[in-house]
Chains A and B, each alone.
Chain A
């Protein structure tokens, strides 16, 4: 009975995913309402909140890219908040403050390591702008990014807007090539039906714009977020998006607001990143299930399906992988799955080359390796995520010194200093 149920739910997840992608393509090409009406004359004051932890020189490049934004300089500022980096990130932030005097750059530092979510909240304390844009400190931003994000807020019911995250290093190796495909498909296809109902389930923390009053309303929840008393520092983007939706606001991804990130290029880095994301997905699923009636009454059915079935599918992937390995271990060794992945890779490669040449992948066949990765992801990352929900590190950015620091200190997210 149990295997039947697993396959049934998985089939449902797959069916919904297929319908969603198909529907997305139809919407993308034929329905005008699928995209928000942008008003570029709407130019609120903007604070770009940039939490930073062990990014080194990259943080300087990030601020540099923001300083080139096509947005009135007097209407935006950068608030860079360091979360007690153990490298020279803070020095690079101060250098950026000195070098990019065309814009206002404010640099702050937490008293103790507090995690990304609380660092964003700490940065918020120093802002008085109408619109908050939370960014990752390892991204490079398109000059039009702020303008594009702000233009979407002309729709009063829009609470949060995200941008599209492109890959800076698509051809570094097979790992980055695979991620390029996944990032592109996620933003250009998967999010489109959610955009149509203004109910994107997760806006990437790389480029996340939110109304000030909304962020202030959610801030206490972010700060008090915990898992049986252990502060939760990860997945603030998913949490913020979720909270925006629950408050009756719309969420949207503007694919014209671009930023570029350097994706993990080694398996350990990728493993850590995916583990962090998976933990966030699982926590969010538990939260959704715990408050399901509220979701059903408040949200669009598409949103509820996205919030429930997508993470549930990821969780069931573990059971499916186990069932396959115990029942028919050689099933994945057949040519069909590999051919399917290579086919998807070839199509995506062609589309990316045509519409986003900067991310063009030189070796599209690398996508075939995703077959092995998906098995690793389903089997190990999901299990590990389920067993480490009490973790609170920064994942890919954690360094030894920071670990020692974290071990000796508790949650002190509210203590910070501003330079």
Chain B
């Protein structure tokens, strides 16, 4: 009996195994056929997609710009820096302009002082020319007078000796003697004053007839005045040059800021509402114009429908990766007015017309 069972079991295996194998092979063949057809379809589709994107000139790749993007952040940073620079320049300009005004005022005041000084110098010179010779004459007269007084003073010493003798002889009292001596001293003092007057007169003559230090001081002041005016001229020139340069810089910065305000990144950062952009390679530039229709397609090429229009085109060059070939390409951004927000997430959209006419 056990042998019968063994035979029966092996017979079962013998029967089941071919059936099992046949089933596996059938499933495998179905799978293989499906796979090979899938590969064939895949290859054809791949080739078609490659060819399609190599030849099509109306595709654009939607780009979602976020304020947190590297480019947007970089742009914001540059914008802030530019604005700060503009502010700094404006403040500096104001300071410079005020400085120039102040310097001009100072210069005007100095220039007004200069003729008055010149007039005073001329007047004084003229007066000296007149009084100098007169004083010289008076000095000579004074010298003659003093010579005469000097001779008289020699006699005074003799009178004093006589007084002393008379006092010693008791011819005059002590009081008389003191009175007479005081008169003699008075005469001596007058003579000394006269000598001093003569010397002072010489000084005055010197002042009036030659260029003295006082005059030099006045001339120095005059030179300083002229120099100060010249320095002010230079400072005003430099300041005006700086104002000119800074005005130019301000103009350029204002232009740059105006340009920046017309970039997609500014719109992205400051736009407030959601703004839709798309990258357009230069090869497809001919398909772009304001108001052109934007189509979004199923499988990136078929069953297309209009989803919006082109709102504006930006001039700045952008680089992007080709959505299919994965190569670096050059182009520019456009702003789209989309009725269907989901289209902004599509790999590609088409401009102007449906790529395959359906």
The interface of chain A, by Cβ under 8 A from chain B, is 228-230, 325, 327-331, 380, 383-384, 386-390
Contacts and interface: CB of A to CB of B under 8 A. Distances in A.
14 contacts: A229-B18, A325-B46, A327-B326, A329-B50, A329-B325, A330-B326, A331-B326, A380-B39, A386-B32, A389-B28, A390-B25, A390-B28, A390-B29, A390-B32
B327 interface: yes
A107 B50 CA distance: 56
A329 B324 CA distance: 8
Contacts of B36: 383-384, 387
Nearest to A331: B326
A387 B326 contact: no
A230 B25 contact: yes
A329 B18 CA distance: 45
B21 interface: yes
A186 to B, nearest CB: 28
Interface in B283-333: 324-327
A325 B325 CA distance: 9
Nearest to A389: B28
A100 B36 CA distance: 49
A287 B228 CA distance: 105
Contacts of B326: 327-331
A388 B18 CA distance: 19
A251 to B, nearest CB: 31
Given A325-B46, A387-B32, A389-B28, A229 B325 contact: no
B71 interface: no
A332 to B, nearest CB: 12
Contacts of A330: 325-327
A139 B307 CA distance: 68
Nearest to A229: B21
Nearest to B36: A387
A388 B32 CA distance: 7
- A-B pairs with the 4 shortest C-beta distances? A229-B21, A387-B32, A228-B21, A328-B326
B35 A383 contact: yes
Given A329-B324, A329-B326, A228 B32 contact: no
Interface of B is mostly: helix
A329 to B, nearest CB: 6
A126 B17 CA distance: 33
Instruction: Identify which of A330, A384, A387 gathers the most chain B CB atoms within 10 Å of its CB.
Output: A387
A48 B28 CA distance: 38
A390 B25 CA distance: 8
Interface string B104-127: 000000000000000000000000
A73 to B, nearest CB: 47
B219 interface: no
B335 to A, nearest CB: 30
Nearest to A226: B21
Contacts of B17: 229
B22 interface: yes
B179 to A, nearest CB: 136
B24 interface: yes
B269 to A, nearest CB: 32
B341 to A, nearest CB: 28
Contacts of B31: 387
A183 B291 CA distance: 63
Contacts of B39: 380, 383
B59 to A, nearest CB: 16
Contacts of B24: 228
B54 to A, nearest CB: 11
Nearest to B46: A325
B35 A229 contact: no
A228 B46 CA distance: 34
A82 B356 CA distance: 58
A93 to B, nearest CB: 35
Given A228-B24, A228-B25, A389-B28, 8 more contacts: A228-B21, A229-B17, A230-B21, A329-B324, A383-B36, A387-B36, A390-B28, A390-B32
Contact of B35 (A228, A327, A387): A387
